């Protein structure tokens, strides 16, 4: 603002200088005055003036140059425009000579606007001569003079527009622009929907209307002209996607607002993505392509009335490999779980088509701003995740991945986004406190903890990632943690320190080098400069997971390829049964006859259908699919059937997919799901519509989400997992053999709120049949939402098109779902609606039907009823007036499809279809109709006419009523009986059997018979073989009456009959000798012995029975007695060792019979459950037993094996066997050992035995006094273990006596020799390590070292005294025998530790009954004195 006056004055001074200069140049020449000397003041003034004049001249020269260049540019522009006009005139003259019918270059688009706002419809049309455009609303011409100020029609620069000012709800209609010239007519249609805001008078049918999506404040109208096609690129190259468009008005400084999406994710400009809008084009440039860039690209342009968009796929193939056969580069490298010195890097695997399988991946890192890459892992990692640790806090990094196979290493992937190594928990430790409601004070948790030096211990130690090669440990930081810098230390299993090489600052750490099959526990310490915290609670046992080949998904299901265009194929497949965190799919193709596969996509595709582009027209291909997850690629699916690349069906039309469905309506809503229905596409595209795909979006968003990955076959679908109270929009796409068609227009916004009305919801799917000049039949489907009671009937309303005056056609509610409407005006259009009724009232009306014109198609014919002169059968026949390749004749009775009825047959020949009544009956009376699909043709017949024909037929042709038609039965010996049964027969009856059009006679392997009393006529076939396959017919004559019945015995039905006949024949032969009357089965006795039992028949003394397991004969202690009729093989102490195939062979001179039973899988589980049922019922109460290792709970039962489903619980939590809690058992009992018990182990214990039906439970309360007594007894029993009674050793050897000591608190240990305390010297060394291992080592023993040694262990709870006799013998002497009454001596070897002996267990003080414990009694260890004896320990000095 301040600079404006300066600019004006500057301009004024320049013009003044120009004028002065002009006057000066116009003056005559003058003489230079005589030189005179200037004063200093004059010199200064002269310099100032000359400087200003110089500047003024420079400005004048610059301005003149600019004006000269502008004039030149203007002249050139005018010349170009003149040339363009000249050429356009010539072009126009040429085009004027070409006659063309009207064609819409830019069609009308639908609009949705608020009430009382204007809307503008526009289109661009071309043709020669120039077409005349007329506007219509709902088929009626629009006349602006008749409604002044309402409509305005314009035609500027070839753009035709209709402006509706101040829209009203009644303006909601379909508007059309009709362009006409002498060569034809073209029409463009669009729907305008006017919405009324909430609270503005009456509500719309949806209830509340949502806030419309925030639209970019664009005032432009945009329509696409040229759209970017499917594109192909190679890694490292560049590609541009461009859309040209028509923008009205086209303002250079205000281009449209465009957004670009890849796979529905919004793209932002950057180094890898360049965007531009202007010059009537929107472009997206990818300067450095990578496979990450592959996907479906969408450009969305914001316009005055919403958005317009276009999508196409971009394929990016692998660049040439670094080595022949090397794999392609991985992609989508991202970093997760970011901490101060740790990140988890993940990526997607490349597709391997003809290359060797990928052996693993190398992960590289680079500091941001550097081009130096450092490899993070020494050996390839096999999963697509890798934890990178050892990062520097605060530094930023990039990551990339390379794949490895047997041929070499791939090119590196595109580097990841920048990642900064910071403590993710640091922000969580900040708190914001408001002071006086307006000041924010930020403090750390450190400020609230007070003065903390040593940090607390970490918590929640667990494995966040478990794989074959590594396990990632995670934990929660300590609280309090203190202000000093913190790091962590990790222990594993026996609490050995893990060397992390550097200080560990993150609560994450990857652990490698864990052994397969072994479980580990970990604990973590917090450490700072002041010291270390206590150890965290140990983690749960962690074991590496061997995922090699097991973690990948299962192979996808059936792959189906169908035609799409002349260069593409539409491929669909079934999802794998086991997804396992699926990333997507790779599709491969192969030319038929070639062995080389090629990749159809290079980035995992998430859906189960894909269009493969870039194929050779006319070539045949097969396809296969692989599923992808973090572990790699699944097995290949089965190959599709070969398909030739040609345009899809439809008369040579390149895109023969169906048109879009329409008329989406809401049928029901329960608050979390909505049931929708829609109308069929108006054009099927040349093949039958076989699937529909539904998409949804929030009314406040623009991104569509697929509802169903698998196509829906019916025109109704329930959409689940919706949010109550949210408005949704839906659209539907139809699919046929050619592919998926365009989506429908979005539905009106629908609010997801539960329907609670007591009256029914709307009927749906209104359709018409038998449309004639004055009548038609309307049909519909029942409501999905029935209300408070069942639907009892329907009312049908009718109105003329564009009229709101509906007339109800029926006074009483209809019980059926069709109505014949008569009395129509020929040529008039009508619309219909249906309302359902229940006990609570009349429900909501259905959606209006499509307008139907009361006019029959030219050439329409009615159904003709008649009698076939040759066969005498009644028939109904219709000759269609029009038919197409996909048309079918669909017959109905009372407007319900005719199912499989043996009395009816349909034949079709050309354009004529005939419904034949082969055996007419009164049940066949009704109204028959036929519809010709994919046309408007059809007709119906009258019931009275059919009744007359059936009655006259019955009089002329009496029939014998049959109770049962011809049927078959397999008898013993494999004979097959064919029979039919009449209601009544006379003795004069005659009949004949016809097989495969040939009459058979009694004899020749066939036996005929009949029974007048029962009405049965039968034929028995003695030898039923493959030659007997075919059609069997019986014809019965009884006076004038006739009857005929046929049985088709072919295919699977015949195979089943033949199999049964052969089985019965073999059974008959088998039963001629010794045989099994009941095959092997199992039983369980009361003592849990499993018996394999069978029953035999037709045996004699010479008959033998032999038992086998896996073909090895078993000889039972008691030989089987076959004469008893039953034999059994006992399997005592049944367990997993008894799995296998058992066989019993019965035989004598008449032959052999065999019975087998496979004890595995379900049979084994059933036996274990049967054993568990008896054992569980016999289980005793839990009893307590103390041992030196801890406290043991035991349960005695008739039999126990580890295969039984036994569960131990502590406080309702399942106990897993571990070093702390050991679970085991013997054949007589199950036990659970609590090692080194503490207060944590107090509580209620439960043992459960599940037998498949019942859970047998036993409990024990280990708390209070019971726990106190048990714990004291455990401490008393926790004594010395591991020493023998007698040791012999050769001189000059070294003797090491080592034992294990238990006790709490840690006991004092003293060694004695011959009742004298042993002192430590060079010859004798005494050690006590870790409060657990006590040792006495004597170097180079001599005979003087022989004697009686003892160890005394004592703490405040008591002590224990153990003696050992040591004998030293000289080299060459025999080892001395132990003395009478002593056990055999142990021979010592140099520095050998004596074997650990069992620890004696005395009878506990508690009233627990003495169990049958496997623990030996204390008296076994004879040299140990009784506990009540006084220890000979001398007083300590």
pLDDT tens sequence across 837-876: 999 999 999 999 989 999 887 777 778 887 776 666 778 8
685 vs 392, more confident: 392
Can you give the pTM of this predicted structure?
A: 0.41
* E strand residue ranges, 1283-1412: 1286-1290, 1295-1300, 1308-1313, 1316-1317, 1324-1329, 1333-1338, 1347-1355, 1358-1369, 1386-1387
Calculate the alpha carbon distances from 1016 to 965, 972, 987, 989 in Å. Answer: 10, 20, 12, 11
pLDDT computed for residue 21 by the predictor? 44
User: 3-state class of 401 per DSSP?
Assistant: strand
Tell me the mean pLDDT in the region 256-282.
89
Q: pLDDT tens digit string along 1062-1077?
A: 888 888 888 888 899 8
1110-1159, pLDDT tens digit by residue? Answer: 889 998 888 898 898 899 999 999 998 999 999 999 999 888 899 999 99
Q: Which of 960, 1027, 1026, 962 is nearest to 998 (CA)?
A: 1027
Rounded Cα distance, 437 and 430, in Å: 19
Q: Is the pLDDT of residue 481 over 90?
A: no
Residue 655: the pLDDT is 47
- Give just the sign of the alpha carbon dihedral 992, 997, 999, 1002: negative
Sort strands 1016-1021 and 257-262 into parallel, antiparallel or unpaired: unpaired
Say whether the peptide bond before residue 1229 is cis (omega within 30 degrees of 0). Answer: no
Could you read off the pLDDT of 811-835 as tens digits, one per residue? 999 998 899 899 999 989 999 999 9
Q: How far apart are CA 404 and CA 357, in angstroms?
A: 9
Lowest pLDDT segment from 413-427, 587-601, 1390-1404: 1390-1404
Distance set, CA 912 to CA 815, 942, 1228 (Å)? 33, 19, 83
In this prediction, residue 37 has a pLDDT band, given cuts at 50, 70 and 90, of low
What average pLDDT does range 589-607 have in this prediction? 92
Q: What is the pLDDT of residue 1181?
A: 92
Q: What is the pLDDT of residues 997-1055, one digit of tens each?
A: 888 888 778 889 999 889 999 999 988 888 889 999 999 988 878 888 999 998 899 99
Mean pLDDT across 297-309: 83
Mean per-residue pLDDT, 240-251 = 86
The mean pLDDT value for 1319-1344 works out to 86
Q: How confident is the model at residue 14 (pLDDT cuts 50, 70, 90)?
A: very low
Q: How many CB atoms lie within 10 A of CB 328?
A: 24
pLDDT at 588: 95
Output the DSSP codes for 836-897: EEETTEEEEEPPPPPPEES-PPTT----EEEE-TTT--EEEEEE-S---TT--EEEEETTEE
- Predicted local distance difference test score (pLDDT) of residue 12: 42
The residue-averaged pLDDT of 1160-1182 equals 93
Least confident of 155-164, 620-629, 1247-1256: 155-164
d(CA 1368, CA 183): 129
pLDDT above 90: residue 673: yes
Q: What pLDDT shows up at residue 93?
A: 55
What lies within 8 Å, CB to CB, of 10 at 6+ separation is none
Q: Tens of pLDDT along 43-86?
A: 666 676 667 676 777 778 777 888 878 777 777 778 777 777 77
Average pLDDT over residues 1204-1220: 90
At 503, the pLDDT band (50, 70, 90 cuts) reads: confident
SS (H, E, C) 922-955: HHHCCCEEEEECCCCCEEECCHHHHHHHHHHHHH
The pLDDT tens digits of the residues spanning 1274-1327 come to 777 665 555 777 888 888 888 888 887 877 778 888 999 888 888 888 889 888
Reply yes or no on whether the pLDDT at 944 is more than 60.
no
pLDDT band at residue 1370 using 50, 70 and 90 as cut-offs? confident
- Tell me the residue length of the chain: 1437
Instruction: Report pLDDT for 953.
Output: 56
pLDDT of residue 207: 34
Question: Which residues have a Cβ under 8 Å from the Cβ of 436 and sit 6 or more positions away?
Answer: none
Q: What pLDDT is stored for residue 95 in this prediction?
A: 52
Which one has a higher pLDDT value, 400 or 471? 400
Mean pLDDT of the chain: 81
pLDDT band of 96, cuts 50, 70, 90: low
> Quick one: what percent of the chain has pLDDT higher than 90?
33
pLDDT of residue 209: 35
Is the model's pLDDT at 24 over the cut of 90?
no
Q: Which residues pair with 852 in a beta bridge?
A: 830
Would you state the pLDDT for residue 30? 37
pLDDT of residue 547: 56
pLDDT at 1268 over 50: yes
Give the angle 1319-1324-1330 at the CA atoms, nearest 5°.
Answer: 80
- Please indicate whether residue 1104 or residue 98 has the higher confidence score (pLDDT): 1104
| Residue 11 pLDDT exceeds 50 | no
Is pLDDT of 949 > 60?
no
Query: Higher pLDDT residue, 1382 or 507?
Result: 507
Mean pLDDT of 1380-1406: 36
Q: How far apart are the first and last CA of the chain?
A: 108
Q: Which residues contact 1218 (CB under 8 A, 6 or more apart)?
A: 519, 541
Return the pLDDT at 39: 66
Structure tokens at 607: 């859906």
């Amino acid at each position: 603002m301040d600079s404006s006056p300066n600019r004006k004055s500057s301009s004024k001074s320049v013009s003044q200088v120009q004028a002065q200069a002009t006057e000066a140049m116009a003056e005559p020449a003058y003489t230079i005055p005589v030189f005179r000397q200037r004063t200093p003041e004059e010199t200064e003034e002269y310099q100032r003036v000359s400087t200003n004049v110089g500047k003024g001249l420079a400005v004048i020269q610059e301005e003149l140059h600019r004006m000269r260049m502008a004039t030149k540019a203007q002249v050139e522009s005018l010349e170009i425009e003149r040339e363009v006009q000249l050429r356009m005139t010539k072009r126009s003259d040429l085009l004027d000579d070409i006659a063309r019918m009207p064609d819409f270059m830019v069609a009308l688009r639908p609009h949705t606007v608020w009430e009382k706002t204007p809307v503008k419809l526009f289109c661009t049309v071309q043709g020669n001569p120039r077409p005349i455009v007329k506007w219509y609303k709902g088929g009626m011409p629009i006349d602006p003079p008749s409604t002044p100020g309402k409509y305005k029609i314009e035609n500027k620069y070839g753009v035709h527009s209709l402006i509706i000012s101040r829209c009203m709800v009644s303006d909601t209609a379909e508007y059309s622009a009709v362009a006409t010239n002498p060569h034809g007519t073209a029409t463009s249609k669009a729907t305008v929907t006017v919405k009324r805001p909430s609270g503005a008078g009456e509500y719309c049918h949806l209830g509340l209307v949502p806030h419309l999506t925030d639209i970019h404040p664009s005032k432009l109208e945009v329509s696409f002209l040229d759209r970017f096609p499917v594109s192909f690129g190679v890694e490292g190259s560049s590609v541009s996607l461009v859309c040209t468009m028509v923008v009205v008005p086209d303002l250079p400084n205000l281009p449209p607002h465009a957004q670009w999406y890849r796979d529905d994710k919004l793209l932002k400009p950057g180094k890898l993505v360049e965007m531009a809008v202007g010059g009537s084009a929107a472009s997206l440039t990818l300067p450095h392509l990578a496979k990450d860039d592959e996907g479906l690209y969408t450009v969305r342009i914001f316009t005055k009335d919403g958005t317009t968009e276009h999508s196409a796929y971009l394929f990016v193939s692998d660049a040439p490999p670094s080595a022949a056969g090397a794999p392609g580069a991985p992609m989508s490298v991202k970093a997760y779980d970011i901490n101060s010195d740790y990140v988890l890097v993940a990526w997607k695997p490349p597709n391997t088509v003809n290359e060797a399988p990928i052996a693993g991946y190398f992960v590289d890192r680079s500091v941001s701003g550097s081009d130096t890459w450092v490899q993070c892992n020494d050996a390839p990692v096999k999963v697509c995740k890798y934890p990178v640790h050892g990062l520097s806090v605060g530094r930023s990094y990039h990551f990339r991945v390379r794949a490895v196979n047997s041929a070499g290493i791939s090119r590196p992937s595109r580097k990841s986004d920048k990642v900064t190594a910071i403590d993710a928990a640091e922000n969580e430790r900040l708190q914001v406190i408001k002071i006086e409601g307006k000041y924010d004070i930020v403090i750390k948790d450190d400020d609230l903890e007070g003065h903390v030096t040593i940090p607390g211990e970490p918590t929640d130690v667990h494995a966040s990632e478990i794989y074959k090669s590594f396990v990632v440990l995670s934990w929660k930081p300590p609280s309090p943690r203190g202000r000093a810098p913190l790091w962590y230390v990790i222990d594993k299993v026996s609490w050995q320190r893990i060397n992390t090489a550097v200080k560990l600052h993150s609560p994450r750490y990857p652990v490698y080098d864990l052994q397969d099959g072994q479980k580990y526990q970990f604990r973590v310490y917090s450490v700072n400069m002041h010291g270390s915290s206590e150890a965290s609670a140990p983690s749960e046992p962690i074991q590496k997971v061997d995922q090699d080949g097991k973690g990948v998904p299962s192979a996808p299901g059936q792959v189906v390829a169908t035609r799409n265009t002349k260069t593409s194929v539409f491929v669909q497949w079934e999802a794998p049964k086991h997804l396992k965190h699926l990333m997507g799919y790779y599709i491969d193709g192969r030319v038929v006859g070639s062995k080389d596969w090629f990749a159809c996509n290079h980035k995992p595709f998430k859906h189960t259908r894909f269009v493969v582009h870039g194929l050779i027209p006319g070539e045949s291909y097969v396809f296969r699919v692989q599923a992808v997850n973090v572990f790699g690629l699944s097995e290949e699916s089965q190959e599709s059937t070969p398909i030739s690349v040609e345009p899809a069906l439809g008369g040579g039309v390149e895109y023969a997919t169906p048109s879009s469905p329409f008329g989406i309506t809401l049928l029901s809503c329960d608050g979390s799901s909505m049931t929708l229905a829609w109308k069929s596409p108006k054009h099927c595209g040349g093949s039958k519509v076989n699937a529909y795909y539904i998409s949804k979006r929030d009314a406040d968003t623009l991104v569509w989400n697929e509802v169903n990955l698998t196509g829906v076959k019916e025109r109704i679908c329930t959409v689940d997992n919706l949010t109550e109270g949210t408005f949704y929009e839906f659209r539907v796409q139809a699919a046929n053999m050619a592919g998926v068609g365009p989506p429908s227009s979005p539905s009106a916004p629908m609010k997801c709120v539960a329907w609670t009305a007591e009256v029914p919801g709307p009927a749906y799917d209104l359709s018409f049949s038998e449309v004639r000049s004055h009548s038609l039949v309307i049909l519909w489907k029942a409501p999905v939402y029935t209300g408070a009671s069942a639907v009892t009937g329907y009312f049908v309303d009718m109105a003329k098109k564009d009229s709101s005056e509906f007339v109800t056609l029926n006074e009483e509610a209809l019980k059926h779902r069709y109505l014949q409407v008569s009395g129509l005006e020929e040529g008039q259009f009508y619309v219909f609606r249906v309302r359902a009724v229940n006990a609570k009232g009349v429900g909501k009306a259905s959606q209006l039907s499509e307008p139907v014109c009361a006019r029959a198609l030219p050439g329409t014919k009615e159904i003709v009823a008649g009698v076939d002169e040759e066969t005498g059968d009644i028939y109904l026949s219709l000759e269609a007036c029009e038919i197409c390749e996909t048309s079918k004749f669909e017959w109905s009775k009372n407007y319900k499809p005719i199912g499989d009825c043996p009395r009816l047959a349909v034949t079709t020949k050309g354009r004529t279809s005939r419904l034949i009544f082969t055996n007419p009956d009164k049940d066949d009376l009704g109204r028959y109709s036929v519809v010709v699909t994919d046309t408007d043709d059809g007709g119906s017949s009258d019931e009275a006419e059919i009744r007359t024909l059936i009655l006259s037929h019955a009089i002329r042709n009496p029939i014998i009523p049959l109770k049962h038609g011809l049927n078959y039965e397999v008898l013993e010996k494999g004979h097959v009986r064919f029979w039919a049964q009449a209601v009544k027969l006379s003795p004069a009856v005659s009949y004949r059997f016809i097989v495969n059009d040939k009459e058979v006679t009694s004899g020749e392997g066939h036996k005929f018979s009949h029974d007048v009393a029962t009405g049965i006529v039968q034929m028995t076939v003695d030898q039923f073989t493959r030659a007997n396959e075919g059609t069997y017919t019986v014809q019965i004559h009884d006076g004038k009456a006739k009857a005929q019945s046929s049985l088709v015995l072919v295919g699977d039905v015949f195979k089943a009959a033949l199999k049964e006949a052969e089985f019965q024949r073999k059974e008959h032969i088998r039963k001629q000798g010794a045989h099994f009357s009941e095959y092997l089965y199992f039983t369980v006795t009361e003592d849990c012995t499993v018996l394999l039992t069978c029953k035999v028949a037709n045996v004699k003394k010479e008959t033998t029975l032999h038992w086998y397991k896996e073909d090895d004969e078993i000889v039972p202690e008691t030989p089987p007695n076959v004469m008893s009729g039953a034999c059994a093989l006992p399997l005592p102490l049944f367990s997993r060792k008894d799995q296998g195939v058992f066989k019993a062979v019965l035989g004598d001179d008449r032959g052999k019979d065999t019975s087998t039973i496979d004890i595995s899988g379900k049979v084994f589980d059933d036996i274990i459950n049967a054993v568990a049922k008896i054992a569980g019922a016999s289980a005793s109460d839990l009893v307590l037993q103390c041992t030196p290792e801890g406290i043991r709970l035991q349960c005695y039962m008739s039999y126990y094996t580890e295969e039984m489903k036994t569960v131990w619980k502590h406080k309702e939590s399942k106990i897993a066997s571990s070093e702390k809690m050991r679970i085991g058992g013997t054949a007589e009992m199950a036990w659970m050992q609590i090692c080194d018990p503490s207060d944590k182990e107090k509580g209620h214990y439960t043992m459960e035995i599940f037998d498949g039906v019942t859970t047998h439970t036993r409990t024990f309360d280990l708390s209070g006094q019971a726990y106190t007594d048990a714990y004291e007894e455990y401490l008393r029993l926790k004594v010395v273990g591991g020493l023998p009674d007698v040791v012999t050793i050769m001189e000059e050897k070294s003797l090491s006596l080592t034992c294990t000591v238990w006790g709490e608190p840690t006991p004092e240990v003293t060694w004695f020799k011959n009742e004298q305390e042993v002192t430590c010297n060079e010859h004798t060394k005494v050690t006590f390590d870790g409060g657990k291992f006590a040792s006495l080592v004597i170097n180079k023993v001599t005979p003087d070292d022989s004697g009686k040694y003892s160890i005394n262990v004592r703490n405040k709870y008591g002590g224990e005294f153990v003696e050992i006799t040591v004998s030293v013998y000289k080299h060459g002497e025999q080892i001395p025998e132990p003395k009478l009454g002593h056990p055999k001596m142990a021979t010592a070897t140099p520095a050998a530790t004596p074997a650990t002996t069992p620890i004696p267990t005395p009878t506990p003080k508690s009233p627990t009954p003495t169990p049958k414990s496997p623990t030996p009694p204390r008296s076994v260890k004879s040299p140990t004195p009784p506990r009540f004896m006084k220890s000979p320990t001398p007083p300590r000095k």
